[in-house]
């Protein structure tokens, strides 16, 4: 059975975009016709290169339309434009990724004669009902629930979070973990290893970047002189620079724009640090583990599911003291850090692969296509 699938997401960047690209390529390789719709934002050289590579893969085309992050009147134009695309390509499945992409898909799929599938990627589930924004986003999730034919959770944690904040899942649903390609499991070369630690990711408080700076200060207070490379960009760029100056860490911390692929950034340091407060199933953790480098990560979201039986290696979020202790141990005993990295690498290589992910997602589409919509819609 050849499926016609359109993937919709807002921002063509980060882990969600990587996930969509893997699905697009994998589904096309299996003979399905695939299309991609995303925002016009993030027109960077690396993003343009990815779109160029996907042009021949997407039989249903690549469509760029303006999509704002927050709800507003611009969404009316975006929905209208996406509706035109859907009518043109005649999709069997519209797969929305993240809050905005999934909202559009669920509003349009039924009228387009397609099934609506949703992958949260964190999105609205990061919010709380206690905040005004959270009440809006989570309220919209409840309203759109009856227009959803299937939900693919990227982790068991995401499924539990959905049930806690939205309620029991009334439609077909399944947990399908993100996966990596075979060549990503090749350990990175030694590189220059000019830094002790590297952070790779979006520059925002949620990623624990300021806790990492506090840990650096604690290590200095112990007489250590660690070096840190921070790779990425984001909404808290200016605040980060100011904080580095306030803590007098300018000689210890180096800032870099995003480096693609992330493996090239990993090769610059002896240890990767991911001190997030919240995650779903982050690719940056998967990629660091697959690259065979020591990794210090927090016990949040789906990260314990990546580590499996080795989750005891994880750290509590927001604890600068615990993070500083782990960083100091990695500096003092690199052999032990490398041994832990090898054990986690072996576990992930066995369980989390792109081929497994693509096959499970296509199987789920076929299940959804064979079932009536659940709920009240």
Q: Which pLDDT belongs to residue 192?
A: 66
| Co-location of 108 and 251 in the same domain | no
| Co-location of 148 and 190 in the same domain | no
3-state secondary structure of 229: strand
| Co-location of 173 and 232 in the same domain | no
User: In this structure, what token pair is assigned to residue 110?
Assistant: 């039924």
Domain membership of residue 375 (yes or no) is no
| Co-location of 331 and 364 in the same domain | no
Structural domain boundaries, residue 45: 4-179+354-369
| Co-location of 26 and 161 in the same domain | yes
| Co-location of 18 and 33 in the same domain | yes
Residues 6+ positions from 76 with CB-CB distance below 8 Å: none
pLDDT digits (tens, 9 = 90+) for 28-57: 999 999 999 999 876 566 678 888 999 999
Residues 6+ positions from 210 with CB-CB distance below 8 Å: 240, 243
Tens of pLDDT along the chain (377 residues) come to 899 999 999 988 878 899 999 999 999 999 999 999 999 876 566 678 888 999 999 999 999 999 988 888 889 999 999 999 988 999 999 999 999 999 999 999 999 999 999 999 888 888 899 999 899 999 999 999 999 999 999 999 999 999 999 999 999 999 999 999 999 999 987 666 899 999 999 999 999 999 999 999 999 999 999 999 999 999 999 999 999 999 999 999 999 999 988 999 999 999 999 999 988 888 999 999 999 999 999 999 999 999 999 999 999 999 999 999 999 999 999 999 999 999 999 999 988 999 999 999 999 999 999 987 554 44
With contact defined as beta carbons under 8 Å apart, do 98 and 120 qualify?
yes
What does residue 242 show for φ and ψ, rounded to 5 degrees?
-65, -40
Instruction: Say how many domains are in the chain.
Output: 2
With contact defined as beta carbons under 8 Å apart, do 317 and 208 qualify?
yes
| Co-location of 229 and 339 in the same domain | yes
116 beta partners: 94
Domain membership of residue 124 (yes or no) is yes
With contact defined as beta carbons under 8 Å apart, do 272 and 296 qualify?
yes
**Which CATH number covers residue 124?**
3.40.50.2000
Q: Which pLDDT belongs to residue 377?
A: 42
């Amino acid at each position: 059975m050849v499926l016609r699938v359109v993937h919709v997401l807002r921002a063509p960047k980060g882990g969600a975009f990587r996930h969509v690209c893997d699905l697009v390529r994998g589904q096309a390789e299996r003979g399905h016709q695939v299309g991609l719709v995303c925002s016009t934002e993030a027109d960077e050289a690396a993003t343009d290169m990815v779109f160029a590579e996907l042009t021949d893969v997407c039989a249903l085309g690549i469509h760029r339309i303006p999509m704002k992050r927050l709800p507003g009147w611009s969404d009316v134009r975006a929905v209208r434009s996406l509706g035109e695309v859907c009518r043109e390509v005649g999709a069997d499945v519209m797969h929305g990724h993240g809050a905005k992409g999934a909202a559009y898909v669920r509003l349009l799929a039924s009228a387009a004669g397609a099934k609506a599938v949703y992958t949260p990627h964190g999105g609205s589930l990061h919010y709380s009902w206690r905040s005004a924004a959270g009440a809006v986003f989570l309220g919209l999730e409840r309203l759109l629930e009856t227009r959803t034919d299937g939900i693919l959770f990227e982790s068991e944690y995401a499924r539990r979070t959905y049930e806690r904040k939205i309620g029991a899942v009334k439609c077909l649903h399944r947990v399908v973990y993100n996966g990596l390609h075979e060549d990503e499991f090749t350990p990175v070369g030694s590189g220059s290893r000019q830094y002790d630690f590297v952070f790779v990711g979006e520059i925002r408080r949620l990623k624990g970047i300021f806790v990492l700076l506090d840990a650096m200060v604690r290590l200095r207070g112990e007489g250590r002189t660690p070096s840190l490379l921070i790779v990425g960009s984001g909404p808290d760029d200016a605040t980060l620079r100011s904080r580095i100056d306030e803590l007098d860490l300018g000689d210890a911390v180096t800032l870099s724009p995003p480096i693609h692929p992330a493996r090239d950034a990993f090769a610059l340091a002896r240890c990767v640090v991911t001190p997030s407060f919240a995650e779903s199933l982050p690719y940056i953790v998967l990629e660091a583990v697959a690259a065979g480098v020591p990794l210090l990560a927090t016990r949040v979201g789906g990260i314990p599911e990546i580590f499996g039986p080795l989750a005891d290696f994880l750290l509590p979020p927001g604890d600068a003291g615990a993070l500083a202790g782990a960083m100091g141990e990695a500096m003092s005993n690199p052999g032990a850090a490398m041994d832990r990295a090898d054990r986690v690498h072996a576990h992930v290589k066995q369980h989390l692969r792109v081929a497994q992910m693509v096959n499970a997602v296509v199987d789920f589409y076929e299940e959804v296509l064979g079932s009536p919509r659940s709920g009240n819609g």
